[in-house]
Structure 1
């Protein structure tokens, strides 16, 4: 850490890595840690020593950061201005904007707001290989060359200047630097990557079980079934005394937890392999728990201190015990009790997930003073973040397994704790832009409320990192749809579930190697100017590209050869095409030639059967492509300790020889299958093509232009 004189105060530089430097300003040359996200263990801004390669020079009032002329005015609040080049583009800011992907020429307020801005990220990344993160939780404004065409401005009238500048060769490198500070993406339990269905809020236990049974009878895959606020005895109960609404979800008063789990509605839920999700709202003062965890424990104060002055009691003729303790205006919060503590009983009964509604976490509390001493101007953006943290940590500490907690509100760092959905804004084009912006901000596990009123909405809703349909007060059960819509819904639900091995591998890739599951085309094709601001197309995993809400039947294909999953037609890339959506479909889904797609057909729930056989669909290319199939137990936290398995597939076509390489499964985990078999399907094969597997020529049959080989590990490796 180094401190320099600058203008009317000082600048403190802290190296966070070779490619990231923290820059703080102050009126004193002392820089104690004041960032609440650091104090609460959310951000890692620890000093890594004298290792940073980012040049920062300070000469009197002249400040150059990463070769950019910079000026910072500070005192009460701050105003930072950086001179940027005319050609660079900017991405990020999370959910602060839903109108555009590329941010140059725009300005945005970083402040959690219902509907307008659920999950802001005060960070941007530049096409010139650098990024900036302003970590204050106070309200601030990013002006990205809007007021001045060559000036990036960050302004806050209260927060202190506490920024991180980071560099990288590409967007992946930049997000790696950012997430090394704010936390890496969470790997959800495997079932979370199936379908989450949220019921009509008027539902009762009988109809809930009947709906679950109908999903299974109609063979519509689904994993999570969510209840809305009326599951509680008191609607919108934000206290720690909440109970099930016994009129709708009767639980005999005399039953203990074990009896409830095995003799009430929780038993058929478990038997049908559903996971129950409960809706929550929270107005609890979460800061007490954060402060408890942040402050080093001191020794207990000595009891019965002899030095205490008790003489004032002599004047008390009567002792009223009601006057012996302080009184708090906040009668909701039990200061000694963590928020999650009261939810443990529901988890013990069988609840497996929680939905964190926007109430009251996204609303302002202008007259509130929190237990950590903060007012709402500093706590407002922080609140959804520590809410997510305590829910995730509480569940995982209590169960020893991964949590599925999903929230509408958030702030930078939310990616390490929970999944999110785009709030009460439906499932149309604007939520799509929000999800793309969040991807470029480092948040991975995103979705929206699926719109089932159009096949376009169903198409988009099932092709997301995780999928959710929220009924709220509607009658949108898929078996009640018209024949056309029901058929489309079932098609896309089964398509998603067949891709679970592919999606789950992409989720691990996002956790371990940064690349988001769903991301804008510019992430993969940063040199192609046509991708710079495409708002309705995105990569989905390594090899799939989705186009949603196709207005003028126009779809852009980046470089390469692309195969329409619905029609099997091939297209040359680096051009726009006119695309007619096939009957019964809601958009386009393209496979990049060279793709290797692991699939598992016939699933009605993710954990219905062990993943001991896969269909591997291969689209050979003259360029070698690889895919790493990721496997673990799907639920425990052991993946963090390396208890997982990776199988690497490679394919290349040389003349008429299709060369496939399959590795052994490397790694181990609980309940790992003893043997795995593969149905290798080589797509669009010619009659004279030869198939080699691990350099051995294999006989294959051709069925409808697909070369099929059945093989298992024993045959491959002995």
Structure 2
């Protein structure tokens, strides 16, 4: 809340229509350069490797909706820089300005980027030069035909399928280069990116309306560039741990009894699953866009005298480990509440709010008008009975009654694109508010749920824009789970979005392979009957095996997701991201790295192994990289899965559902041919306490010598507590999971042959050799505050 307050305190006075004037003084971090044509250039030096550049008239500097509503970081520490008459210079970059014609040169350690930032009528025309062999990536899910973006034009306007044109679900106006620089164009207006198509040496970004406003940054590689970009636009949220399990979306026609039967069947078949989703017919009227929605009580019964608690069908789901997800859609104007939040913060800081015409300063609730930016805990807003007009209370208010009944997840279906409202409450036009809409929606959902429950929200959406990664997961929309969905996910990785999924391709082993080995997994029935037990009998074990593999890998996925939440480095990575020195990987759109150590292929009969040593996950076979390998899918295996030499992968025993962010037992699978390390992450699994540093990490490492392998478990760092006192789904106490004193660890060494001698902390120990798998397993016992070391002699 303090961070949000700091952001919003910097917000500025509303100006009619689409203009938000930046009333904040430039200060020591800014430099202004008058240009010969009477315009000015303002440079804000945010970091030694990050600058914001704006061009304006009459000394006025404008803000986009991204700034006004606090989606972009502003509270950077002061950066030292040198200002001259012709530019600014930091320890990492230099911006040179030609004050006669307004052109710029961004000088980075690898190259100089020439920039032409022009005001064009009511809009802008930005141009950046490209070198002959420069490769550029990003732009989110703006096209699914390539990953290396050069040579095409991209329309930045969220839309579904239209007249045969493919969807644009999740555009992100960022581009990063293999030559060590990146750009983020700070606009929500509809605009286009011509990336070397009209002129192969120029990126042209043009809009009919909007201001010249963009960020330039530089780093040594993609990891550094994505780190800078996600620090600016927001780090990916860490989902509750069960969000990384399986979500099954039921047929739209189910009722409470059919839903409970599906839940029971998952458990009886031993198919792990955490979340059961309901599609639009859970509500009445069907597809209700308003805040008057309620259960279709002819299909989902609750006792009128006691509609929440363990005695309800939602309580029955919870008792066997299921969380309930509800489908939502909306035509709500989220900008009204955003302006009211700014007004509340202005009052708190002693300023007079400046609201658009027609927006009251205080939002309305059942307890009267409030100046709070969030409602008091436990307040009730009776929208359904008409006490509050539609659109005059925060969107999340009407969802509290469902959350109080135990709903834990929401599917935010905006695949059709944001609503067309004409003029928005904050004065924005359709062309400006359209792309902003999904992130307003996602944030109000996430913050409303966390305020109400003290827990992280699992929500997912198809539509997005820069910054959505901070609040929600995504799925690839109404496009199935095939190759195109895969390409969209790989492109979003270059735009800092990590928590991605798609509808699982069913019933094919290739679909199971891809669907279960991605950041989070969703299987969607929609209008079909895609329950796993209704597929061909011989495929049920395949689906189950892939699902169980996913649940074994949960500590690997969760630890990697935490890394993404700190650095922006995604869980799922295109090969061209991981191996930037090989241009041939630009065309590989059917393989990806899953975390640091797993190489996955999908929907392809030939794979290209990067250089190095790899191991086949399925067979254990050792394979030299730098070559192509054929593959033919079978009913049992839908794709290849290779492990990088030196990998350390933590696994858990298979669980039917997930509740906490740690487990009593952990096995580290180790491929010790190369040195390697892994940092295991643990927390309570559901609360946002991790944002405040309440979590624990354990570094494990493996090193090689001529005749021995050394495996070390270092002392655990950090701590977390059981979140006692957090309101539960029925007003009780949330049964949180605090940090245990120790966990039982073991290590499984994929060695090829049995070691001749083994010692644990200098004492001989007997391990277990599995001849069929060529794996030697050693128990380490209770691990926590003390270092433990295994040595194995070949």
TM-score, structure 2 normalization: 0.83
Map Cα deviations across residues 349-382 of structure 1 (whole Å, 9 max, x no partner). 100000001266x1451x6111101111100000
Q: Would you say the 8 A contact 1:657–1:689 is kept in 2?
A: no
Per the alignment, residue 778 of structure 2 pairs with: 709
Q: Would you say the 8 A contact 1:407–1:420 is kept in 2?
A: yes
Q: Would you say the 8 A contact 1:661–1:693 is kept in 2?
A: no
Counterpart-to-counterpart distance in 2, 1:335 and 1:590? 52
Per the alignment, residue 620 of structure 2 pairs with: 568
Offset at residue 694 of structure 1 (A): 5.3
Per the alignment, residue 94 of structure 1 pairs with: 140
Aligned residue runs from structure 1 range 530-679, under 5 A: 530-550=584-604, 553-581=605-633, 584-607=636-659, 611-621=663-673, 623-670=674-721, 671-679=738-746
Q: Secondary structure at the match of 2:63?
A: coil
Counterpart-to-counterpart distance in 2, 1:7 and 1:581? 65
Q: 1:694 to 1:98 in 2, by over 3 A?
A: farther
Q: Secondary structure at the match of 1:262?
A: coil
Q: Would you say the 8 A contact 2:678–2:701 is kept in 1?
A: yes
Per the alignment, residue 298 of structure 1 pairs with: 347
2:117 to 62, 72, 78: 72
Q: Which deviates further from its counterpart, 525-534 or 375-384?
A: 525-534
Counterpart-to-counterpart distance in 2, 1:699 and 1:653? 21
Q: Would you say the 8 A contact 1:660–1:692 is kept in 2?
A: no
Counterpart-to-counterpart distance in 2, 1:609 and 1:523? 29
Q: Which deviates further from its counterpart, 507-516 or 6-15?
A: 6-15
Counterpart-to-counterpart distance in 2, 1:107 and 1:76? 22
Q: Secondary structure at the match of 1:532?
A: helix
Q: Which deviates further from its counterpart, 47-56 or 644-653?
A: 47-56
Map Cα deviations across residues 641-677 of structure 1 (whole Å, 9 max, x no partner). 1111111111123233121011122111121122211
Per the alignment, residue 259 of structure 2 pairs with: 208
Per the alignment, residue 111 of structure 1 pairs with: 157
Counterpart-to-counterpart distance in 1, 2:133 and 2:763? 52
Counterpart-to-counterpart distance in 2, 1:640 and 1:398? 18
Matched, 1:41 2:93: no
Q: Secondary structure at the match of 1:162?
A: strand
Matched, 1:24 2:76: no
Counterpart-to-counterpart distance in 2, 1:247 and 1:416? 38
Q: Secondary structure at the match of 1:606?
A: coil
Q: Secondary structure at the match of 2:717?
A: coil
Q: 1:294 to 1:692 in 2, by over 3 A?
A: farther
Q: Would you say the 8 A contact 1:284–1:333 is kept in 2?
A: no
Per the alignment, residue 372 of structure 1 pairs with: 426
Unpaired runs of 5+ residues, structure 1, are 303-330
Per the alignment, residue 320 of structure 1 pairs with: none
Offset at residue 481 of structure 1 (A): 0.9
Q: Secondary structure at the match of 2:265?
A: helix
Q: 1:264 to 1:536 in 2, by over 3 A?
A: same
Q: Would you say the 8 A contact 1:118–1:409 is kept in 2?
A: yes
Map Cα deviations across residues 681-700 of structure 1 (whole Å, 9 max, x no partner). 11134234444555665432
Q: Which deviates further from its counterpart, 208-217 or 704-713?
A: 704-713
TM-score, structure 1 normalization: 0.91
Per the alignment, residue 455 of structure 2 pairs with: 401
Q: Would you say the 8 A contact 1:129–1:168 is kept in 2?
A: yes
Q: Which deviates further from its counterpart, 146-155 or 333-342?
A: 333-342
Q: Would you say the 8 A contact 2:660–2:685 is kept in 1?
A: no
Offset at residue 425 of structure 1 (A): 0.4
Per the alignment, residue 699 of structure 1 pairs with: 766
Q: Would you say the 8 A contact 2:509–2:637 is kept in 1?
A: yes
Q: Secondary structure at the match of 1:132?
A: strand
Aligned residue runs from structure 1 range 294-693, under 5 A: 294-295=342-343, 296-298=345-347, 334-358=390-414, 362-363=417-418, 365=420, 368-550=422-604, 553-581=605-633, 584-607=636-659, 611-621=663-673, 623-670=674-721, 671-693=738-760
Q: 1:195 to 1:162 in 2, by over 3 A?
A: same
Q: 1:392 to 1:29 in 2, by over 3 A?
A: same
Map Cα deviations across residues 436-491 of structure 1 (whole Å, 9 max, x no partner). 00001100000001111321111100011000011100011001111222121111
Matched, 1:57 2:75: no
Counterpart-to-counterpart distance in 2, 1:168 and 1:95? 23
Offset at residue 34 of structure 1 (A): 2.1
Unpaired runs of 5+ residues, structure 2, are 1-29, 82-89, 162-166, 353-386, 722-737, 789-794
Map Cα deviations across residues 371-406 of structure 1 (whole Å, 9 max, x no partner). 101111100000111001101111111111111011
Q: Would you say the 8 A contact 1:629–1:648 is kept in 2?
A: yes
Counterpart-to-counterpart distance in 2, 1:398 and 1:609? 21
Counterpart-to-counterpart distance in 1, 2:299 and 2:781? 50
Map Cα deviations across residues 16-46 of structure 1 (whole Å, 9 max, x no partner). 2111111111122221x42211111111145
Map Cα deviations across residues 621-653 of structure 1 (whole Å, 9 max, x no partner). 2x3200011100100111111111111111123
Q: 1:695 to 1:100 in 2, by over 3 A?
A: farther
Q: Which deviates further from its counterpart, 217-226 or 650-659?
A: 650-659
Q: Secondary structure at the match of 1:200?
A: coil
Q: Which deviates further from its counterpart, 676-685 or 220-229?
A: 676-685
Offset at residue 168 of structure 1 (A): 0.5
Q: Would you say the 8 A contact 2:415–2:463 is kept in 1?
A: no
Counterpart-to-counterpart distance in 2, 1:563 and 1:96? 35
Q: Would you say the 8 A contact 2:309–2:315 is kept in 1?
A: yes
Counterpart-to-counterpart distance in 1, 2:621 and 2:276? 37
Offset at residue 255 of structure 1 (A): 2.0
Q: Which deviates further from its counterpart, 269-278 or 236-245?
A: 236-245
Q: Would you say the 8 A contact 1:186–1:511 is kept in 2?
A: yes
Pairwise CA RMSD: 2.1
Q: Would you say the 8 A contact 1:658–1:689 is kept in 2?
A: no
Q: Would you say the 8 A contact 2:699–2:714 is kept in 1?
A: yes
Offset at residue 594 of structure 1 (A): 1.1
Q: Secondary structure at the match of 1:680?
A: strand
Counterpart-to-counterpart distance in 1, 2:576 and 2:415? 35
Counterpart-to-counterpart distance in 1, 2:213 and 2:660? 49
| Structure 1 segments (4+ residues) deviating >6 Å | 299-302
Offset at residue 332 of structure 1 (A): 10
Q: Would you say the 8 A contact 2:542–2:635 is kept in 1?
A: no
Q: Would you say the 8 A contact 1:659–1:693 is kept in 2?
A: no
Counterpart-to-counterpart distance in 2, 1:148 and 1:717? 59
Q: 1:426 to 1:7 in 2, by over 3 A?
A: farther
Q: Secondary structure at the match of 1:472?
A: coil
Q: Which deviates further from its counterpart, 331-340 or 446-455?
A: 331-340
Per the alignment, residue 243 of structure 1 pairs with: 294
